[in-house]
Amino acid sequence: MSIKAEEISALIKQQLANYQDQLKVDEVGTVTYVGDGIARAHGLDNVMSSELLEFSNGSYGIAQNLETNDVGIIVLGRFDDIREGDTVKRTGRIMEVPVGEEMVGRVVNPLGQPVDGLGPIHTTRTRPIESPAPGVMQRQSVTQPLQTGLKAIDALVPIGRGQRELIIGDRKTGKTSIAIDTILNQKGQNTICVYVAIGQKESTVRTQVETLRKFGALDYTIVVEAGPSEPAPMLYIAPYAGSAMGEDFMYRGQHVLIIFDDLTKQAAAYREISLLLRRPPGREAYPGDVFYLHSRLLERSAKLSDDLGGGSMTAMPIIETQAGDISAYIPTNVISITDGQIFLEADLFYSGTRPAIDAGNSVSRVGGAAQIKAMKKVAGTLRTDLASYRELESFAQFGSDLDEATQSKLNRGRRTVEVLKQPLHKPLPVEKQVIILYALTRGYLDTVPVDDIERYQNELFDFFDSSHADLLETIRTTGNLPDEDALAAAVKAFSESFTPTGKN
């Protein structure tokens, strides 16, 4: 490639055309303390809360505590070369991140800068990371379903567009997997996904990004990442930055799914900042406004009214519990803020029931409004049935002679559990979920051995794909259950042709 000097000078000229010779008048203060990701500065008398400040080394900070003598600042970025006596100047702006379609498919840090090594992001718009949540009249109630592709969730705890559904459970119970599978299932659904990884191991994030890339999900996903090696302020602002990126799409009428993985670590980062800023500690040493920390974040996820374009932002915050203790401070806070929770249990996970959703403790407060009619019909009482089966199961371990009704209930329960199992990264379209649940609730599975259910399910789907695609099509397009006789006949025909293992 030959370098053309004229071209280069033309480009430089073009860049320099914007240069204006102006005197810069700044309000400055002096750093009096710096360390642990925070700084204190003297002066800056007119600074406003949450204002963006610039240090002389080029790092930015956010004014947090405005006290009589000094200002407490959280430093975003390098603070090891800020010295006592350095100047810090006001910018008059509040913290903003770049937003827009250009961000999609990229991995960025909480400042919106790319960290995936794919070059600069040419965005034209920015959005403040903190912005007021939509008001009462700007919203409408949640009606459209957001399909997660997981039978256990779509049937038991359905999620609607604009809902906030918490995923809660111990470490290693598959919280992140549920979130990732949900993203994978949004393919072709015209939904933008934002995955905010807060304090997750960089290697784990890399794995998730590769998974998304492998399944083609990165084409509609923004990954915001704040690693554990970054200073606490970055972890603290990450979910707000992610929300700002999602809001941009929501206010332009699109559907957004945002995942905060996980808010426990964000709360811990905020606790760290608050203690260093000498705010009084409260319960579990969290500061007094830790509830507001999460409520103002999750309130920004909403279903907008039709006047505003009808966009939505569905939030799936993740909370990690310690030994199943959902009555700790942060879990109770977030449970009360969200519109329901998916509770994952370690015991179920290790016994092979994956996703390990505890039907008794999981709820969705939006519920039926967010299900298609067909699903409502087949899954109506599934959740309560499953919960009563769990109760009965522990009971039945003692007795040997059980009456027929109990036997059949246990029988159905075992099959329900089996049907709701689903392998990793294999989201299922809603029409197929309806078919298998129809077969289950109408009793076609009662005669199939438990070990054969997975095979039955797969073969049933193949059968419908090849011979009854029209029935699937009806469910997909209308959302209603097709003509019951036709459906019953199809399932019946298949069940009769199905040969359980070991019979031939």
Partner 1 sequence: MKLDNFTVGKRYAKALFEYATEQHISDDIYTELLALRQVFTDNPDLGNILTDSRLDLNEKRAILAVLKPNFSQTLQDFLQLVFDYRRMYDLQFIIDEYEVLYDKANGRVEMTATTAVPMTDEQIESIGAAYLKRFSGKTATVTNVVKPSIIGGVVIDAQDRRIDGSVKTKLNQVRELLAQPLK
- DSSP 8-class letter at 139: B
Q: How near is the Cβ of 46 to partner 1 at its closest, in Å?
A: 8
Given candidates 65, 87, 295, 411, which one binds partner 1 under the rule CB under 8 A?
87
Structure tokens at 464: 């419908």
Q: Considering the rule CB under 8 A, would residue 106 count as an interface residue with partner 1?
A: no
Tokens describing residue 40: 């204190």
Q: What angle do CA 309, 311, 317 make, to 5 degrees?
A: 160
Where does 251-338 have alpha helices with state H?
263-276, 290-298, 329-337
Stretch that binds partner 1, among 9-17, 77-85, 283-291, 489-497 (CB under 8 A): 9-17
Closer CB to partner 1, residue 114 or residue 479? 114
Residue 219: which residues within 8 A CB-CB, separation 6 or more? Answer: 104, 105
| Spatial separation of the C-alpha atoms in residues 424 and 403, rounded to whole Å | 37
Name the segment binding partner 1 (CB under 8 A); options: 8-16, 188-196, 284-292, 350-358. Answer: 8-16
Q: Which of residues 212-271 bind partner 1 (CB under 8 A)?
A: none
Contact 362, 185 (CB under 8 A): no
CB distance 77 to 34 below 8 Å: no
The DSSP call for residue 149 is S
- The reply to whether 497 sits near partner 1 by the rule CB under 8 A is no
Q: What are phi and psi of 425, to 5 degrees?
A: 55, 35
**Residue 61 within binding range of partner 1, rule CB under 8 A:** no
Q: Does 24 bind partner 1 (CB under 8 A)?
A: yes
Instruction: Establish if 101 lies at the interface with partner 1 (CB under 8 A).
Output: no
Instruction: Decide if residue 122 touches partner 1 (CB under 8 A).
Output: yes
**Token digits of residue 437:** 């649940």
Q: Which is nearer to partner 1, 12 or 48 (CB)?
A: 12
Which residue bears the tokens 């329901």? 340
Among 7, 45, 403, 404, binds partner 1 (CB under 8 A): 45
- Per CB under 8 A, does 401 bind partner 1? no
Contact track, partner 1, 445-484, x by CB under 8 A = ----------------------------------------
**Binding of residue 21 to partner 1 (CB under 8 A):** yes
Residue 11 is a binding residue for partner 1 (CB under 8 A): yes
Give the Cα-Cα-Cα angle 321, 326, 330 (nearest 5 degrees). 70
Pairing of strands 191-198, 221-226: parallel
- Shortest separation between residue 23's beta carbon and partner 1, angstroms: 5
CB atoms within 10 A of CB 488: 14
Which one, 45 or 404, has the nearer CB to partner 1?
45
Catalytic sites, residue numbers: 365
Positions that interact with partner 1 (CB under 8 A): 11-12, 14-16, 18-19, 21, 23-29, 42-45, 68-70, 87, 89, 120, 122
